[in-house]
Structure 1
Amino acid sequence: MVGPRFRRREMLAALAAGTLVPKTALAKDYIDLEWGDLVPPGQPAIPPVIMDLIQHDGPSLSSEQPPSQGVRTEWNGKIVRLPGFVVPIEYSGTGVTAFILVPFVGACVHVPPPPANQLVFVTTPEPYEGSGLFEPVNVIGMFGTASMTTQLADIAYALSAEHIERF
């Protein structure tokens, strides 16, 4: 498995198509996305198997991740805003510099992860000083498809955050 720092550099290089948009422009120049927008038409955003309660003493939850049925590419290279919950992956001091943005509380930790097309790997150049695990946030930044694997789940999308705000 490739280390998180290498994946982050690789993902940032893939998303960087020039200079990033200044924060002042982000206030009005982004596309609002919802989690259902990330799955191909006709697919449920959250598979029924995940909605059932599971026992927390069972095997690794990553082994129970449902397969992804494709991604949508129309927002590659676009500045988007996506709400979700923070599952920290990498820290710098007390701030989070890489995390998985998930569509519901408990995803990837307390219940099996959603399909890869319902997970977004987020990196931020400035550590985000959040309030803890599963904090609800809005993330604004450059979006794209980026297949990667972490210890928690397979992930189909990446977002280079320019602005993170509490939801």
Structure 2
Amino acid sequence: MRFITLFLICMLSGTVHSAPPKEIFWEDLIPKGHVQIDTQDAASHDGADQNWVQPSLDAPVVKSLDGKSVSLPGFVVPLEGDNQLIREFLLVPYFGACIHVPPPPPNQIVHVKIKGGVPIDSLYDAITVTGVIKVETWQGELAQTGYTMQAVGVAPFEL
């Protein structure tokens, strides 16, 4: 009886924790069996306008990720914020994506919002973003994404 009472108290008090976020990587955002073209290798830095067009907008997503709590490492492309806090950004798999080279396919970009913002010390450094990922398209001036995320945390990337 004491065990049942203790269990109910834990359940009601919220001390029973849910599973930690699933750690995912960029290849997990591409459906198994889909052969994706590596757009980074084809990038040219000669300044030609066609170089900045996002290739392969028809990039399939992994629908089973929708609504999952995940953590994903990557690099920040700021969209909204100031010199103190960033509230909205694109998370991309490599530095310079969407700025210095053509954007990756939409299934390799995550549109992230974080309530209250987060300081990002250096755009050159990789970070890990934790939050709920959605299979949802977002489109802005820089790129179209196949995923969005409401972040709850951002931390420096650690191996």
Could you tell me the TM-score, scaled by structure 2's length? 0.80
Give the Å deviation of 1:93: 5.8
Counterparts of 1:84 and 1:55, CA distance in 2? 22
Structure 2: state its 5+ residue gaps.
1-13
Give the Å deviation of 1:65: 2.4
Counterparts of 1:49 and 1:117, CA distance in 2? 12
The 5 A counterparts of 1:1-167 are: 29-44=20-35, 47-59=37-49, 61-92=51-82, 94-167=84-157
With over 3 angstroms needed to count, the CA separation of the structure-2 counterparts of 1:131 and 1:73, relative to structure 1, is same
Contact 2:75/2:93 (8 A) holds in 1: yes
Counterparts of 1:62 and 1:143, CA distance in 2? 27
How many residues were matched structurally? 142
Q: What secondary structure is seen at the aligned counterpart in 1 of 2:34? A: coil
Counterparts of 1:49 and 1:92, CA distance in 2? 30
- How much is the aligned-residue C-alpha RMSD, in angstroms? 2.2
Counterparts of 1:134 and 1:150, CA distance in 2? 22
Could you tell me the TM-score, scaled by structure 1's length? 0.76
Structure 1: state its 5+ residue gaps.
1-21
Give the Å deviation of 1:54: 0.4
Give the Å deviation of 1:72: 0.8
Answer with 1 or 2: which has the greater Rg: 2
Q: Which amino acid letter does the alignment assign opposite residue 121 of structure 1?
A: H
Q: Which amino acid letter does the alignment assign opposite residue 26 of structure 2?
A: W
